[in-house]
Amino acid sequence: MSNFLDTVELQTQDTVQYSIIWMHGLGADANDFVPIVPELSFPEGVGVRFVFPNAPVRPITINNGMAMRGWFDILSLARIEREEDEKGLYESKADIEALIQRENARGIPSERIFLAGFSQGCAMTLLTGVRYPEKLAGLIGLSGYLPLYQRTAQEASAANKNTPIFLVHGDFDPVIPINIAHTSRQTLEELGYTIEWHSYPMAHQVCAEEVADLNKFIIANMR
C-alpha cells in the first residue's frame, strides 16, 4: 500500500526500537504534538520514532460544515449515545493500520508500537487499538472518548485484550464532558481492559503533570 497519510516524524536516536503513532485533534495538524517530544525522556540507549500523521480535510457538521482536518465528522458531542460518522471512523482506522504496518516494514514489531492521540485522535487510538489483530505496546488516550462504544465487545481483537491503556481527562473540559470519558473508561473496564486513569484540574488541554504521568506509562510498557 503506497497511499499513506502525510506524516511528520522525529526520532530520539539514530536507531529506534519503538514507535509512537500520535493522532492530533480536530482542526489541528501533524505538528500539534511535536513540541511534546523534547518533554519526554527514555532509558539510555532506547530510541523512539514519533510518527505524527495529518488527518484528511473534511467538512465538520458541528462547525457548520466548515472543512478542516478531522479523522471523522462530528455530528454532536452532547452525549456518548449519538449518531456517529461510521464511514469516516473506519476509513481513518484503516489509514492508521497502514501506518502500523509501515512501521513493521521498517523493523518495529507491533508489540513495540504505541498508539496515542488527543481528543479526536484519542477516539481513533481507542477505536483502532482495541480492534487491531496484533498485540500493541500500549494505547494512550488524552481528553477523548471511545467511539462506537456499544460495538466494542463484538469487534474487539483478542490480541489487545491485555494491552495497557492510559486515559486522561480534564475535570473542566468544555468540549468533551468528563462524563463521556467516564463512560468510555467503564465500558473498557467492564470488558476486562486494564486502564490507568488520571484526571486533572484543567479544560480541553494538556498539563505538565499529565506529560510526566504519560512518560512513566510509556517507559513502564517498554518491553
> What residues act catalytically?
119, 173, 204
Q: Which three cell numbers mark 106?
A: 521498517
The candidate with the shortest Cα–Cα distance to 57, out of 20, 30, 80, 76, is: 30
89-97: Cβ within 8 A, 24+ apart: 89/123, 89/124, 89/127, 89/147, 89/148, 92/55, 92/56, 92/124, 93/124, 93/127, 93/128, 93/131, 95/4, 95/5, 95/53, 96/21, 96/23, 96/53, 96/124, 96/128, 97/128, 97/132
CA 92, CA 114: separation in Å to the nearest integer? 17
3-state secondary structure of 21: strand
> Which one-letter DSSP state was computed for residue 171?
T
d(CA 42, CA 130): 25
- Least Cα distance to 207 among 198, 219, 197 occurs for 198
CA–CA dist 134, 136 (Å, integer): 6
